[in-house]
Homo-oligomer: A and B are copies of this chain.
Amino acid sequence: MRAMVKLFSSSWFAWFLLSALVSVNVGVEARVRHYKWEVKYEFHSPDCFEKLVIAINGQSPGPSIVAEQGDTIVVELTNRLLTENIAIHWHGIRQIGTPWSDGTEGVTQCPILPAQTHVYKFVVDRPGTYLYHAHYGMQREAGLYGSIRVSLPKGAKEPFAYDGEHSLLLADWWHRSTYEQSTGLSSKPFRWVGEPQSLLIQGRGSYNCSLVSGLNAAGTGSVCNATNPQCSPHFMTVVPGKTYRIRIASVTSLSALNFQIEGHNMTIVEADGHYVEPVVVQNLNIYSGETYSVLVKADRDPSRNYWAAVNVRARKPETPTGVAIFNYYPNHPKRRPPTIPPAGPVWNDTSYAIAQSQSIKARAGFIHTPPSQSDRVITLLNTQNLIDGFRRWSLNNVSFTLPHTPYLIAIHQNLTHAFNQTPAPDSYRAKEYDIFRPPPNPNATQSDSIYRLRFNSTVDIILQNANTLNPNNSETHPWHLHGHDFWVLGYGIGVFDPVNDPKKYNLVNPIMKNSAAVFPYGWTALRFKADNPGAWAFHCHIEAHFYMGMGVVFESGVDRLGKLPDSIMGCGES
């Protein structure tokens, strides 16, 4: 990013030409793309407030992985943190045949120790927009994430046309360290992480420095500097009249977001690596872990720039709008639009949220028809609970904890003492539970028990939302499945009806995704085929919620795997 800024300051036009050039597909055959990353702490000021971030090769967001379908990605990652381990998940990459490269600490690998170099190797088998991010403790929140863009191979054509493209990685940002956040979550009394201080677009936000006292805690310097170039807004330069593909990915730790470009319609054409039937929207809801491509035509008054804006949804916003500049060439890309950034739709308009999610269907010609029946239905009621006075999240009254030995290893080596062998529960007592009230008995149990799925079977997941511990409160949870895509069969409000609701499933053209939300007091029905041997996490993508137990693990076909690589070993039982 710094390099870019530097380049720009000498000649932003040169940069603009260069970026236009890069966006043209240069055809090469499937190949190995080798990345060498050093991960360490650095002082950055992404929203003008100086804070430690976990940077990759000096950058947060880290370097983008840009590849073509069929390429093999090799990331040689060296942990240069002093005392802290790492694991990185390649979000949306199914890791077919390489379940050990999924990067999920405790599920598919042991953490990477300081000074250790770990090699992730996997094939990007499908074009689309993806993410990578830390999957260990709450390191994602420290800025350890980046973008993956996979384009079509030479000669192949997208089912839509555009003249150039831009990528936007969206994040939320706190000034407290992840250590403080996670310690607060596991303290008595419970300390919630709170709403983020800033929203970042491509790693850039803008905190109001007047809210911070002049000196940092140590009294050694100013911690907030509104003129720091690191926090000048990101800009996307467009030529009037041209159409752009904007790849938008959300790696937020907490916030559901709404994205818009002031005064411009957007046409949604891709979601989570799948083409969708074009939908024109004025703004886009995007939940943590989701990715979209939208087409935007630069068809407005070209004499000025426009705001690209993100606003918090689904939680009462306490965070200012995050902005980037939609820059009409030849206006100066740092020229601020003359308007106030748009505020987005009302944060708690759930009907609007559901309607937009429901409107997204697989694109004709690219439909993967789901199996008409499932072999097993797993209903997951999520509740907020108290365990020994600690606040936790549970599924069917079980709050998930990661074991010390990664499941993939434990199952493959038959280490039956490494985790609880009792199957996790497939359902809850729906008739006895009132999802509209706080849990009558908030006690739950903690367990590292999992779901073992018959290989190649078809599984339905019903995410059933409920009231939290606070009266009249139910939250939106973005769920993410590792190793597979699922079909989104339907959304509803209230208690899922196992007799009637399945009759309304969309089995014709459901979108396939790896991440989908369950809405307040609602349910979301998903279907997937357990056809990828491995152990795979399925969890709420809110980092604090997964830390508090809101996740499960699916195993299938591990017995079909050959020898596991030594590189994922080194912790827990053996």
Whether A83 pairs with B84 at a CB distance below 8 angstroms is yes
* CB of A174 within 8 Å of the partner chain: yes
Q: How many A residues, CB 8 Å from partner?
A: 47
Contact B218–A176 (Cβ < 8 Å): yes
Return the contact of A85 from the options B42, B85, B138 (Cβ within 8 A): B85
**Is the Cβ of B194 less than 8 Å from the Cβ of A82?**
no
A8 within 8 A of B: no
Asked if A177 lies at the interface with its beta carbon under 8 angstroms from chain B, I say yes
Q: Which residue of B lies closest to A117 (CB)?
A: B404
Residue A116 interfacial (CB < 8 Å):
yes
Q: A218 contacts which chain B residues (CB < 8 A)?
A: 174-176, 194, 197
Decide yes or no whether A422 CB sits under 8 A from chain B: no
Interface residue stretch chosen among A208-216, A228-236, A283-291, A295-303: A208-216
- Residue contact A115 to B404, C-beta cutoff 8 Å: yes
Q: Which of A128-184 contact B (CB under 8 A)?
A: 136-139, 174-177, 179-180, 182-184
Asked if A24 CB lies within 8 Å of chain B CBs, one says no
Q: Nearest CB to that of A49 among chain B residues?
A: B217
Q: Mark A293-332, 1 if CB is under 8 A from B, else 0.
A: 0000000000000000000000000000000000000000
Binary per-residue interface labels of chain A (94-119) against chain B in the complex, 1 for a CB within 8 Å, 0 otherwise: 00000000000000001101111000
CB-nearest residue of chain B to A51: B217
State the CA gap A552–B449 with chains docked (Å).
Answer: 47
**SS of A interface (majority):** loop
Residues of B within 8 A of A404 (CB): 115-116
Cα of A184 to Cα of B42 in the assembled complex, Å: 8
Which of chain B's residues has its CB closest to A403's CB? Answer: B115
- Does A470 make an interface contact (CB < 8 A)? no
Chain B residues within an 8 Å CB radius of A217? 49, 175-176, 212, 217, 223
State A344–B523 Cα separation when bound (angstroms).
69
> Which of B138, B176, B213 contacts A213, CB < 8 Å?
B213
Nearest B residue (CB) for A86: B83
Cβ–Cβ < 8 Å partners of A137 in chain B: 82-83
Q: Mark A51-87, 1 if CB is under 8 A from B, else 0.
A: 0100000000000000000000000000000111110
What are the residues of chain B within 8 A of A571 when measuring CB–CB?
113, 115-116, 570
Name A214's closest neighbour in chain B (CB-CB): B213
Asked whether A220 is an interface residue with its Cβ less than 8 Å from the other chain, the reply is yes
Q: Provide the bound-state CA to CA distance between A430 and B174, in Å.
A: 53
- Chain B residues with CB under 8 Å of A115's CB are 404, 571-572
What residue of chain B has the Cβ atom nearest to residue A42's Cβ? B183
Residues on B with C-beta less than 8 A from A52 are 177, 179-180, 183
* 10 A-B pairs with C-beta separation under 8 A: A41-B182, A42-B183, A43-B187, A85-B85, A85-B114, A110-B113, A115-B404, A191-B220, A194-B218, A194-B220
In order of increasing CB-CB distance, the 9 nearest A-B pairs are A213-B213, A83-B137, A82-B137, A175-B217, A115-B404, A41-B183, A176-B218, A84-B84, A83-B84
| A residues in contact (CB < 8 Å) with B | 40-43, 49, 52, 82-86, 110-111, 113-116, 136-139, 174-177, 179-180, 182-184, 187, 191, 194, 197, 211-213, 216-220, 223, 404, 570-572
